[in-house]
Structure 1
């Protein structure tokens, strides 16, 4: 996995505020999240992975083992359950909230950029990151 250890900085974001509204993120947190330009890095430790998302607002670490469900705390503090799987250079994450809402994150890693497509209900957000 040649994309492990690379840092990707966001260069474009489409429909992020609407996506956050759909998953129940409050106004103040949405405003803060919309104002920053996050950096994403995927790290590997044996069979385990850590997806680090950092910005001036907050840094989060999502630790997972592919194919195994884990408890996750979203950046807004909501507690959810997630499962991550790899298909080639694509990391797919399915996140389930206590209220039954299912959110899908598809992160496609390339040599120069990473494209993240997030879907909740009928709302899709696309964010593009370039290698630093």
Structure 2
């Protein structure tokens, strides 16, 4: 889990518009989502994990413990039952709402944080670079 901690800046995004469209995100919100370059901050305090997304559009924060379900209000206004697990060195986040499910998988590859988002048959990969202080 330690390897995920720190501040990560978005440097590349593939197929994110299609992913947002599949989720039902409005055109206006998708336009903003396609141009902002958010920073993800992951902190660890014992068993508690804080995951912040910071951008010029909107900031979000979720606090959770691994393998324990929690309520998440997403940046695109979905109310989800979410669980995050550590599976094979990957942080796997599953969001469920209205009979639907999306999966967000974070993994470290070549010193980059890869975020793979999957909903139905649409896959988006976003690449983050660790910021040094």
Q: Give the CA deviation at 1:87.
A: 2.6
TM-score, normalisation: structure 1: 0.92
RMSD: 1.4
TM-score, normalisation: structure 2: 0.92
Structure 2 gap segments, 5+ residues each: none
Residues 7, 130 of structure 2: 8 Å contact kept:
yes
* 1:119 equivalenced with 2:118 (yes/no): yes
* 1:45 equivalenced with 2:45 (yes/no): yes
| 1:48-102: CA deviation from partner (whole Å, max 9, x where unpaired) | 111111111111101111111110000012111111001354110111012x111
Moved over 6 A (4+): none
Q: Give the CA deviation at 1:112.
A: 2.3
* 1:104 equivalenced with 2:103 (yes/no): yes
Range 84-93 or range 72-81, more displaced? 84-93
Distance 2:18 2:39 in 1: 21
| 1:4-46: CA deviation from partner (whole Å, max 9, x where unpaired) | 5411111110000100011111111111111100111111122
Structure 1 gap segments, 5+ residues each: none
